[in-house]
Structure 1
Amino acid sequence: MLFSKTLSLVASAIAAVASPILSRDSGSISVTPHYRYSSSAGVLGCKIDTNRVAYWPSNVDCNNLCVKVTSNGRTVHLLKVDTSGGAYDISYDAWNYLLTGKGAHDSPAMGGGIPATFDHVPLSECAGLIKEPEGRLAISAANGMNFFETCGNTKTVLYNIANPVCTRGYDEVCTLAPGANQATCAHQLGSLDSLTSQPVWNIDYGTGALSLAV
């Protein structure tokens, strides 16, 4: 009986490890600075405010894209478009603002975790962070289809830009026919041609210098 109970506990532990990482609706965390834009979901950095992004240890999903983080009496709204290995990272500029009340470009600070609270809020509260001309969340047509297909009625759009930092492809909207699993674009889907008209800038940690994301 003891052996059977042990097996049951081991099976439960394995299942817990294998389960998807789920998001809490709110809570207390320690936020740390992240200064290189990325998106495991294929969200295009040239179409959002990359200084307001959350890189958290939870799955990226369309139901929890916008998160409000408060610390030191200050609040930022962030788009949660990437998954971290365990830390509650946020864009360096957002972290710097929560810590000092100033932007990282003009008054860069250095340090570690800041105690904070968070709440998942409707995507409409992050509308000002989306820079796509029609207010849609822009996703790579070549590399973001898995995420795009889970978004249902969320306001998203596919672009023929091959990477999240927007250095490859074409700045053009693609369409997805009913039942299709591949988008149709004016140019070849997934083209790796150089794209220079949609730069993404990082704010370097500790210096505040702007550097082109590559």
Structure 2
Amino acid sequence: MHSSIRAWASAVTTFVATVSAATTSVPVTPHASYSSSIGVLGCKVNTNRIAYWPMAVDCNNICVSLSYEGRQVYLLRIDQSGGAHDVSYDAWNYLITGKSATADPTAGGAIQMDTENVDASKCAGLINTSGSKLPLSAANSMNFLNSCLEKQADGNDSWVASNYVLYNILDPICTYGYNEVCTLRDWPDQNQATCPNTLGDPVSLTSQPVYNIEYPTGKKVLAGSSASSSSGATPNTIVAASSGGCTNMFTCQPLLFLAFGLCAVLQSFFISL
């Protein structure tokens, strides 16, 4: 009897220790503008459930759980911040108030919350592609994708390598390219995707809009457009809602992805000669 009780107590202690080790408390701040340093397309994911963590995005820990006062959300971790633990403004607002930022917008800064890495399947509902495969830019995500494919080829786990889809869209806010699926054939001999139209062609794309929720007004605004100047936010609250600094080519230099796209076009041209 006593040995059974001791065994049960030991199992409970081990379980609690495991849970405690997996869960981390971090200061979380709101982030108002969608971005992805690995080129995940905002028109194919729920941009209101994104995590912008300080560490680099890897090939497996792509989904995190975030909890606060009994409320919990799953977030796609597809961008790297400049040091802060940022999340989409709507997710932050829901965790604080229990309501969407569009219904009850709230201003504020860092709030201590509990987070842990979870299985990628928990974020399947945040990805709007067939099979919930991670939608990547065929022209501008190859460095990240290659690292995941190489990891898998070496016999290591790589969720991204087994669960990705490439689109001929150049930028994460889906303003240039074609809304079409591309294929990567004969990797690693071929390191360039094949698309129905020219890969990386920077044509205007208007059928796949991405919207941000403006901080702290709660208004939906088209990504890439000028934010409303009538939000009434003070300089301090604007800083609190930022990403903590310029961290990737898609947010820091809007024209840079066009240069990469043009390089892809030229490369495709010379390969065909």
Structure 1 and Structure 2 fold alike (TM over 0.5)? yes
- Give ranges in structure 2 of 5+ residues lacking alignment: 1-20, 150-160, 225-273
- Structure 2 CA distance, aligned partners of 1:88 and 1:25? 17
Residues 61, 150 of structure 1: 8 Å contact kept? no
Q: 2:38 aligns with which of 41, 55, 69?
A: 41
SS class of match (1:151) = helix
Paired positions, count: 191
TM-superposition CA deviations, 1:176-201 (whole Å, max 9, x none): 11121111111111111010111100
Of Structure 1 and Structure 2, the greater strand share is in 1
- One-letter amino acid of the structure 1 residue matched with residue 62 of structure 2: L
- Structure 2 CA distance, aligned partners of 1:170 and 1:210? 24
- Give ranges in structure 1 of 5+ residues lacking alignment: 1-23
- Structure 2 CA distance, aligned partners of 1:27 and 1:135? 27
- Give the aligned partner of residue 113 of structure 1: 110
Deviation at 1:62, TM superposition (A): 1.7
- Structure 1 CA distance, aligned partners of 2:141 and 2:117? 23
- One-letter amino acid of the structure 1 residue matched with residue 209 of structure 2: P
- Structure 1 CA distance, aligned partners of 2:173 and 2:129? 14
What TM-score comes out, normalization by structure 1 length?
Answer: 0.86
Deviation at 1:155, TM superposition (A): 0.5
TM-superposition CA deviations, 1:70-103 (whole Å, max 9, x none): 1121101000000000000000000000100000
Could you list the structure 1 runs, at least 4 aligned residues long, displaced by more than 4 angstroms after superposition: none
Deviation at 1:25, TM superposition (A): 5.2
1:213 maps to 2:223: yes
- One-letter amino acid of the structure 1 residue matched with residue 195 of structure 2: C
Q: 2:206 aligns with which of 196, 200, 204?
A: 196
- Structure 1 CA distance, aligned partners of 2:59 and 2:122? 14
Calculate percent identity across the aligned residue pairs: 57
Of Structure 1 and Structure 2, the greater helix share is in 2
- Give the aligned partner of residue 84 of structure 1: 81
- Structure 2 CA distance, aligned partners of 1:44 and 1:71? 28
1:172 maps to 2:147: no
Deviation at 1:148, TM superposition (A): 1.6
Cα-Cα RMSD? 1.2
- Give the aligned partner of residue 163 of structure 1: 171
- Structure 1 CA distance, aligned partners of 2:97 and 2:208? 30
Cα distance change of structure 1 residues 141 and 207 upon mapping to structure 2, 3 Å threshold: same
Deviation at 1:104, TM superposition (A): 0.4
